[in-house]
A and B are shown apart, each in its own frame.
Chain A
């Protein structure tokens, strides 16, 4: 549902990934990390939902 909503408001397919990896599945973790990195690199930097400049007061 959340992924569908994200796609609906204009997040490109391939930018948001979901995965279930057990702490015992180290190889799967590596594979998924590679696959996600490649998919997101192919899309290029995200431009949506990025604040272009700080327009709210900064708090420490």
Chain B
């Protein structure tokens, strides 16, 4: 599967650059270690051979579009395409600057889930269809891709790009009957004390590296509130209160905008499930406003407009 995708992406990218339709194409190239494809920008049709596609393209490329002035061809999965829509709505890029190469996606794999099945370092990962062949420390295992998907991909219901100029493959079957919010409901059912304990424990490993923020296409503020020092909104140290403030406030800034692309969680070097914050907001947005982010260019996000029927029971 990945070879067909790769060939098609290369062909489209080369054509766009050759015809002068775009100034650059954003895609992925093979990383220096297995399972770590890196974002890649090519400007000449002869460079199209660098582009690849497989199950390790989890980074959200919409992150690199912010305020760009060039005409850009961009490779976009379902979630990336929704973030591109959000970028267009928020005036961070113009639709007519973009040529979107849509990639119907069957999910990206979580390198931690694979690493956990091996004692030694992973040396090589290859894939065919829905199975992965992983080599490491002299052993070789065949894994079903479905078992090692990223958590957000496992529960994804928008695998096909919602906006595209050309598709790199036939649309894939969308998953149905997925329970997206089981983990959130479990936390909601806890007592306030248990919740505090849960989140304190969840964030105890956080080193405030801000990789989650940097990987997030929504976090494009010129100065993030945590970096501001006049006034200083939040302490910059490792105090648990400051760490938690950073996480829940960053999540709140993504309310009604987050597409659950999983870039934050993927980027976290200590494996904190930071999506537990953004997903709660995503769930509330769906329940209160019947809203899913980035599905249409014609609708304003719920926190951006007033509607007479907005829920307001909490205001006394």
Whether, in the assembled complex, B244 has its beta carbon less than 8 Å from a beta carbon of chain A, the answer is: yes
Those of B206-228 within 8 Å (CB) of chain A: none
- Min CB–CB distance B84 → chain A (angstroms): 24
Contact B196 A10 (CB under 8 A): yes
B230-246 to A contact mask, C-beta < 8 Å, 1/0: 00100111110110110
A48 to B232, CA, bound (A): 20
Q: Which residue of A lies closest to B194 (CB)?
A: A10
Partner of B248, one of A5, A50, A51: A5
Q: Range of interface residues on chain B?
A: 20 to 34
Contact B241 A9 (CB under 8 A): no
- Min CB–CB distance B188 → chain A (angstroms): 6
B274-316 to A contact mask, C-beta < 8 Å, 1/0: 0001001100110010000000000000010000000000111
CB neighbours (8 Å) of A10 from chain B are 192-196, 198-199
A8 to B185, CA, bound (A): 10
Q: Which residue of B lies closest to A47 (CB)?
A: B196
Contact B239 A19 (CB under 8 A): no
CB neighbours (8 Å) of B285 from chain A are 1
Most buried by B among A3, A10, A56: A10
B189-205 to A contact mask, C-beta < 8 Å, 1/0: 00011111011000000
Those of A18-60 within 8 Å (CB) of chain B: 18-20, 32, 35, 48-51, 55-56, 59
How many A-B residue pairs lie within 8 Å, measured between CB atoms?
A: 66
CB neighbours (8 Å) of A19 from chain B are 315-316
Whether, in the assembled complex, B118 has its beta carbon less than 8 Å from a beta carbon of chain A, the answer is: no
Partner of A9, one of B196, B284, B316: B196
Contact B237 A20 (CB under 8 A): no
Known: A9-B244, A55-B237. A1 touches B199 (CB 8 A): no
Interface of A is mostly: loop
Contact A5 B251 (CB under 8 A): yes
A13 to B37, CA, bound (A): 45
Whether, in the assembled complex, B64 has its beta carbon less than 8 Å from a beta carbon of chain A, the answer is: no
CB neighbours (8 Å) of B303 from chain A are 1
Contact B196 A48 (CB under 8 A): yes
CB neighbours (8 Å) of A7 from chain B are 192
- Min CB–CB distance A46 → chain B (angstroms): 11
User: Could you jot down 26 A-B contacts, CB within 8 Å?
Assistant: A1-B252, A1-B284, A4-B280, A4-B284, A5-B255, A5-B277, A5-B281, A5-B284, A8-B188, A8-B195, A9-B195, A10-B192, A10-B198, A11-B192, A12-B192, A13-B192, A18-B315, A19-B316, A49-B241, A50-B241, A51-B239, A51-B241, A55-B237, A55-B238, A56-B236, A56-B237
Q: Which B positions have Cβ atoms within 8 angstroms of A?
A: 187-188, 192-196, 198-199, 232, 235-239, 241-242, 244-245, 248, 251-252, 255-256, 277, 280-281, 284-285, 288, 303, 314-316
